[in-house]
């Protein structure tokens, strides 16, 4: 690598599973940049030291994955999104200061924008299944886009209540038993649980009560077509999958590090799809 090479990395423990190098190195080639994107497998006990010397290690920024997102938030200057979500997944330097954001928020909404432009103008209520780490980003993104009522259904009700405490009255914790009724006035249903993921039980939910114009989104991307998305498509509903979100969330970091806003293309999607089924 020559002197002028700008490098970024994904830091995690483990990090082998990350598709970020595939995505960013595809764009680097596509835009013919003098740049590189690497994996850094960093144990929790050495993360603080690693991040404190990120630029000395030759990096202009980084993605952060499990289990370091909260520590990255604490060690950087987070924007409103990262602070609200309580986790940072993208870091960059601005005037020598290490800044951070959480790009899951825009990854999710940009993926919906691509699936149904204007979805937020007549979305009605939203139902979010799950109240874990990713649900915080989804709820924040929905509030940012003006969705007035977000019903959160979670196995552990206390976590849904915690989302309401964090984000206010737009969030309404609800029981699973209320779902059939809630779905009748839902414009957007989002699965943020790990149900439906390879090796996990499927998410079993009757989509019949949903209005015909409802949009169904799943964060799970392995398998690409989850049982939830398959059921939604069988009912003729529009869907947005987890891979779309994963690709869109990568855009901002690439732009911040390398100065080019990259496109999420059909070709990139196919590349990652092929890797996911390996």
How many angstroms separate the CA atoms of 239 and 218, rounded?
A: 8
Query: Residue 112 burial (CB < 10 Å; 0-12/13-18/19+)?
Result: buried
Cβ atoms of 69 and 137 within 8 Å: the answer is no
106 binds ligand NAP per the rule CB under 6 A: no
How many angstroms separate the CA atoms of 242 and 221, rounded?
A: 4
**Binding residues with ligand NAP: total (CB under 6 A):** 25
* Shortest distance, position 131 Cβ to ligand NAP, whole Å: 5
226 binds ligand NAP per the rule CB under 6 A: no
Q: Which of 65, 76, 154, 186 is the binder for ligand NAP (CB under 6 A)?
A: 154
Element (H, E) at 33: none
Binding piece for ligand NAP, criterion CB under 6 A, among 34-42, 48-56, 192-200, 264-272: 192-200
Q: At what angle do helices 20-30 and 251-258 cross, to 10 degrees?
A: 50
| Token pair listed for 263 | 């496109």
107 binds ligand NAP per the rule CB under 6 A: yes
192 binds ligand NAP per the rule CB under 6 A: yes
Q: Which of 10, 35, 104, 150 is the binder for ligand NAP (CB under 6 A)?
A: 104
221 binds ligand NAP per the rule CB under 6 A: yes
**Residue in the shown chain whose Cβ atom is closest to ligand NAP:** 132
For residues 28 and 87, which CB has a smaller minimum distance to ligand NAP in the complex? 87
The per-residue b/e assignment along 222-246, b for 16 or more CB within 10 angstroms, e otherwise, is ebbebbbbebbeeeebbbbbbbbbb
- Is 69 catalytic? The answer is yes
CA distances from 53 to 92, 272, 277 (A): 13, 31, 36
Contact positions with ligand NAP (CB under 6 A) in 124-153: 130-135
Q: Contact positions toward ligand NAP, by CB under 6 A? A: 104, 107, 130-135, 154-156, 159, 192-195, 197, 201, 219-221, 242, 245-246, 249
Which residues are annotated as catalytic? 69
């Amino acid at each position: 690598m020559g002197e002028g090479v700008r490098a970024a990395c994904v830091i995690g423990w483990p990090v082998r599973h990350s598709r970020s190098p595939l995505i960013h190195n595809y764009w680097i080639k596509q835009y013919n940049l003098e740049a590189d994107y690497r994996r850094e497998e960093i144990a929790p006990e050495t993360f603080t030291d690693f991040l404190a010397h990120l630029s000395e290690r030759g990096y202009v920024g980084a993605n952060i994955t499990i289990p370091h997102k909260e520590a990255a938030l604490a060690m950087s200057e987070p924007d409103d999104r990262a602070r609200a979500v309580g986790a940072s997944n993208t870091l960059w330097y601005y005037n020598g200061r290490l800044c951070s954001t959480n790009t899951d928020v825009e990854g999710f909404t940009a993926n919906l924008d691509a699936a149904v432009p204007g979805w937020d103008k007549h979305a009605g209520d939203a139902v979010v299944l799950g109240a874990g780490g990713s649900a915080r980003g989804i709820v924040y993104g929905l509030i940012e886009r003006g969705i007035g009522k977000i019903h959160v259904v979670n196995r552990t009700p206390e976590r849904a209540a915690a989302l309401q405490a964090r984000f206010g009255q737009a969030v309404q914790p609800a029981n699973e038993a209320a779902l059939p009724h809630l779905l009748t006035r839902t414009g957007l249903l989002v699965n943020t649980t790990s149900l439906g993921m390879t090796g996990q039980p499927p998410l079993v939910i009757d989509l019949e009560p949903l209005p015909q114009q409802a949009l169904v989104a799943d964060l799970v991307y392995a398998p690409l077509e989850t049982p939830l998305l398959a059921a939604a498509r069988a009912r003729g509903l529009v869907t947005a999958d987890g891979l779309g979100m994963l690709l869109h969330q990568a855009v901002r970091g690439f732009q911040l590090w390398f100065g080019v806003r990259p496109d999420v293309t059909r070709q990139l999607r196919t590349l990652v799809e092929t890797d996911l089924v390996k």
